[in-house]
Amino acid sequence: MGIMELIFGDLNKKEVRKIEKTVDIIESYDEAMQALSDEELRAKTDEFKARLKEGETLDDILPEAFAVCRDGAWRSLGMKHFRVQLIGGVVLHQGRIAEMKTGEGKTLVATLAAYLNALDGHGVHVVTVNDYLAKRDAEWMGRLYNFLGLTVGCVIHAVEGEKRRQQYLADITYGTNNEFGFDYLRDNMVTYKEELTQRELNYAIVDEVDSILIDEARTPLIISGRGVDSSSMYRNANSFVKTLTKEADYKIDEKDNQIALTDDGVKICEQYFGIDNFSDPDNMELNHYVQQALRANYLLKRDDDYIVKDGEILIVDEFTGRLMYGRRFSNGLHQAIEANEGVKVRN
């Protein structure tokens, strides 16, 4: 056992022991909860809301609220949170990271902290890695939240305008980091309060946190200026990356599925576009177009990741292999693929 593991392993154990005491209290409510009728169990949600208004804190009501959520899950989903799942729920509520193995039921764990934190009425976001999971979890866990009298929303790419705003008004909203992130950025550009899509930011749970906060964080979310026709930029960037030769000019990190220009590649790029310094903040947009062109040309595979049909790029779902009609890769990647495949570059 390494020294780090010794220290952190110990620390971890100590923290978990503290949480076990809370879990004992949660479990002590079990019989009382089972004795309630469905209506009485649902009425607990309003009772908690009232108690919060009268000054109790989320931590005060946590054990009882978790017990309500647990019994509600049993009645609406046929699943009752295991002890480790209750521990995970407390960890999430504390704003920490819970590491759980695949298949251990993280979707259900999140409901405990989501339910509790939604009770003060300021909204909860559950961040997933893709639209498919956002939709699946919102529908699946939505049965539990609805059963307990809370509303659920889901922000996916296809939901726009007023409907999108409605999703954010729900007690608990599922969505991807891209959707949440871009809505946040767009909200920072509006002139009137009425145009805002999101309401206040209160509490969020991130699923697959390593992927979202580390891997995905390498691709910044960028909104390009309005009214600019960017299709020519996508085509220019595409023509440029096609002049590159692999070893010398760009590097692929297979493990992280990342691609970047080498120093030589950067020099060629600066010459190609007639600029002094590719890294200069002034060239941030160009950076973005080149990055997406590199991905489109050298990382994504036609017929694996997408297909070209009737002049359109259709995404192939990575999980089910089905074609996702009407869906577009976000962040300009779709446009970069369109430029690469020589079809119309859409907005």
Ligand X SMILES: Nc1ncnc2c1ncn2[C@@H]1O[C@H](COP(=O)(O)OP(=O)(O)OP(=O)(O)O)[C@@H](O)[C@H]1O
Q: Is 81 in the site for Mg ion (CB under 5 A)?
A: no
Q: Is 235 in the site for Mg ion (CB under 5 A)?
A: no
Q: For residues 71 and 42, give the distance between their C-alpha atoms in angstroms, rounded to a whole number.
A: 10
Binding residues for ligand X, total number by CB under 6 A: 13
Residue linked to tokens 């906060």: 213
Q: Where are the alpha helices (DSSP H) in 151-258?
A: 161-169, 177-187, 209-210, 231-242, 246-249
Nearest residue (CB) to Mg ion, 126 versus 313: 126
Q: Is 326 in the site for ligand X (CB under 6 A)?
A: no
As measured in angstroms, the least distance from the Cβ of 20 to Mg ion is 24
As measured in angstroms, the least distance from the Cβ of 129 to ligand X is 9
As measured in angstroms, the least distance from the Cβ of 98 to Mg ion is 12
DSSP state of 302: B
As measured in angstroms, the least distance from the Cβ of 70 to Mg ion is 19
Question: Which of 126, 170, 135 lies closest to 151 in space, CA to CA?
Answer: 170
Q: For residues 73 and 137, give the distance between their C-alpha atoms in angstroms, rounded to a whole number.
A: 14
Binding residues for Mg ion, total number by CB under 5 A: 1
Q: For residues 171 and 185, give the distance between their C-alpha atoms in angstroms, rounded to a whole number.
A: 22
Q: Which residue is nearest to Mg ion (CB)?
A: 106
| The entry of Mg ion, ligand X, none that residue 81 binds, CB within 5 to 8 Å by partner kind | ligand X
As measured in angstroms, the least distance from the Cβ of 104 to ligand X is 4
Among 42, 106, 164, 328, contact with Mg ion (rule: CB under 5 A)? 106
Binding residues among 225-254 for ligand X as defined by CB under 6 A? none
Which residues face 11 on adjacent strands? none
Q: Is 212 in the site for ligand X (CB under 6 A)?
A: no
Q: For residues 112 and 320, give the distance between their C-alpha atoms in angstroms, rounded to a whole number.
A: 29
Q: For residues 177 and 102, give the distance between their C-alpha atoms in angstroms, rounded to a whole number.
A: 21
Q: Is 216 in the site for ligand X (CB under 6 A)?
A: no
Residue type for 187, please? D
x-or-dash pattern for ligand X, window 100-139, by CB under 6 A?
A: x-xxxxxxx-------------------------------
Residue type for 230, please? S
x-or-dash pattern for ligand X, window 71-100, by CB under 6 A?
A: --------xxxx--x--------------x
- At 281, phi and psi to the nearest 5? -55, -30
Answer yes or no: are the C-beta atoms of 111 and 142 closer than 8 Å. no
Which residues form the interface with Mg ion (CB under 5 A)? 106
Which residues form the interface with ligand X (CB under 6 A)? 79-82, 85, 100, 102-108
